[in-house]
Amino acid sequence: MHDLRGRAAIITGGASGIGEQCAVCLAAEGAKVLIADIEHARAIRVAEAIGAGCIACACDVTDPTSVHGAVDRARNEFGTLNVLVNCAGIGFVGSIEETEPNDIERLWSVNVMGVYNASRAALPYLLEARDGVIVNIGSVAGLVAVKRRFAYCATKGAVLALTRQMAIDYAGTGLRVNCVAPGTVETPFVDAYLARFHRGEEDAVRRDLHARQPIGRMGRPEEIASLVAYLVSPEASFITGSIITADGGWTAQ
């Protein structure tokens, strides 16, 4: 457990999967949390289940006005903002030949511009706090090639690069910027991927997804959330600009 009392966080994409577990974990360790998600009704349900100190806000990370509204609300409700977890993201299956311009533009707008919009909006408050932390949820797909994931690999690679760059720009200000790069994690994100791209063969593909991690299974959202909780805690004060994999050994091969 990490003592996160007195810290306030905003989590984009916090209504399901890894983002939801980040909200649960940070709140359990004492942080106040705003869940910012385009799925507002689900965000409300998650916030109500967590209880006191957790609120929900409708937020489209591709819209700077929407993001500024969520960030300002977090700052106004909590009186400070110490933590931003950029977790909102979408996927797509296809080679470059199978990826239309609108496909890669959509992924870029969420996976990359979403991180840009939220980070830029939160930055003044994070600097004001003097102990701010940004954690970007990347992917091993930003580190290694994954077959038929052209757009996804490109956008997650960009997230890794901007993580390192921001960390250097703000080193010494009190603001730290890191990235967690998970392997395949069993979440609604995976369920939606199976339903869209592998209808009728979900069970077989799910077995393959488990098997491609050397330890033989997909990750669990709470395992990623625990790592995020450490990175936003004072115990991680010497860590910035790092890309930390949590991938069951995938990138060790």
152 is catalytic: yes
CA–CA distances in Å: residue 112 to residues 7, 82, 153: 26, 21, 12
Q: How long a stretch of residues is the chain?
A: 253
Rounded distance, CA 52 to CA 46, Å? 12
Angle between helices 113-129 and 64-78 (to 10 degrees): 30
Q: How far apart are CA 82 and CA 127, in angstroms?
A: 8
| Helices within 108-213 (DSSP H only) | 113-129, 150-169, 188-197, 202-211
CA gap 103, 82 in Å, rounded: 34
The amino acid at 232 = V
Q: What is the DSSP letter of 55?
A: E
* Amino acid present at 58: A
CA distance 78 to 186: 32
Catalytic residue among 116, 125, 152, 170: 152
Positions marked active-site = 152
